[in-house]
Amino acid sequence: MTTIGVLALQGAVREHIRSVEASGAKAIEIKRTEQLEHIDGLILPGGESTTMRRLIDSYGFFTALQEFGKKGKPIFGTCAGLILMASKIEGQDHAHLSLMNMKVARNAFGRQVASFEQELAIKHVADDFNAVFIRAPYVVEAGAEVEVLATHQDRIVAAKQGHYLCTAFHPELTDDNRFVEYFVKMVEQSVETLAS
Ligand code: GLN
Is 157 close to ligand 1, i.e. is its CB under 6 Å away?
no
Q: What's the pTM?
A: 0.96
Is 166 catalytic? The answer is: no
- How far does the centroid of ligand 1 lie from the alpha carbon of residue 52, in Å? 10
Domains: count for the chain:
1
Closest ligand 1 atom to the C-alpha of 107? 1
Q: Given this model, what pLDDT does residue 113 score?
A: 64
Confidence at 108, pLDDT banded by 50, 70, 90: confident
The CATH number for 189's domain is: 3.40.50.880
d(CA 154, CA 121): 13
Residue 147 has φ and ψ, to the nearest 5°, of -90, 125
- How far does the centroid of ligand 1 lie from the alpha carbon of residue 16, in Å? 16
Structural domain for 73, as ranges: 3-195
Q: Per-residue pLDDT averaged across 67-83, rounded?
A: 97
Work out whether strand 126-134 and strand 147-152 pair parallel, antiparallel, or are unpaired.
unpaired
